[in-house]
């Protein structure tokens, strides 16, 4: 059963939409392993700050079906797909990794290129999958995070509770 990693973010009513998205993902996938929640300024446009985290799960759901289920979760949380790529989001969920897949599969580029581009993706991924190797490389996510130029994007952990448990503590 492949392990999947999902990047989750919101900058509109952040707590509500992330909690709702996690609830729905839990219903679909069962147990979730969650990173801390990080806040960062919007990237690529002027907007409210984002909350981001990474969730991991094991699933037998195929990548195409998983993508459709994720889109439904986003849509149920008010996702407006008419907006530009870099714009405010009620909820954004991206498949970062699907097992050891590498390349384009069912219209999804894996591993997702944003892993190496943005601190708000790489840091929480390294937090929960640090020893794991980036598919098609021999480099761990911990090493990738250590090598990342942290001046490119400043992020910081925030207090966050989900289902009555604290999953993240601020600085």
Rounded-to-integer distance, Cα 39 and Cα 138, Å: 29
Q: What is the pLDDT of residue 45?
A: 93
Rounded-to-integer distance, Cα 47 and Cα 134, Å: 31
What is the count of structural domains for the chain? 1
Task: State pLDDT tens for residues 97-120.
Answer: 999 999 998 889 999 999 999 999
Quick check: 89 and 12 in contact, CB under 8 A?
A: yes
Q: Which residue in this structure is represented by tokens 């079906």?
A: 65
Helices (H) and strands (E) in the chain, counts: 5, 10
**DSSP of 82-151, one letter per residue?**
TS-SSS--S-EEEEEEETT--EEETTEEES-THHHH-HHHHHHHHHHHTTSBPTTSS-BHHHHHHHS-TT
Which parts of the chain sit beneath pLDDT 70? none
Q: What is the pLDDT of residue 151?
A: 96
Report the CATH number at residue 162.
Answer: 3.30.70.560
Rounded-to-integer distance, Cα 117 and Cα 168, Å: 23
Q: What is the pLDDT of residue 140?
A: 98
Quick check: 26 and 18 in contact, CB under 8 A?
A: no
Q: What is the pLDDT of residue 85?
A: 85
Which tokens hold the place of 29? 């996938």
Q: What is the pLDDT of residue 78?
A: 95
Phi–psi pair at 110, nearest 5 degrees: -130, 145
Give the domain range for residue 132.
3-168
How distant is the alpha carbon of residue 42 from its chain centre? 15
Which tokens hold the place of 143? 């090493």
């Amino acid at each position: 059963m492949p392990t999947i990693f999902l990047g989750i973010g919101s900058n509109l009513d952040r707590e509500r939409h992330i909690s709702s998205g996690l609830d729905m993902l839990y219903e679909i996938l069962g147990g979730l392993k969650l990173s801390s929640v990080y806040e960062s300024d919007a990237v690529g446009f002027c907007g409210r700050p984002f909350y981001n985290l990474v969730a991991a799960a094991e699933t037998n759901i195929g990548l195409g079906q998983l993508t459709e289920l994720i889109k439904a979760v986003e849509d149920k949380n008010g996702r407006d797909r008419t907006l530009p790529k870099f714009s405010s989001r009620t909820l954004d969920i991206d498949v970062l990794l699907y097992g050891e897949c590498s390349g384009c599969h069912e219209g999804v580029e894996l591993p997702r290129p944003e892993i190496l581009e943005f601190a708000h993706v790489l840091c929480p991924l390294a937090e929960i999958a640090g020893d794991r190797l980036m598919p098609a490389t021999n480099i761990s996510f911990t090493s990738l995070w250590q090598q990342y130029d942290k001046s490119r994007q400043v992020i910081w952990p925030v207090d966050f509770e989900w289902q009555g448990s604290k999953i993240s503590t601020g600085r």
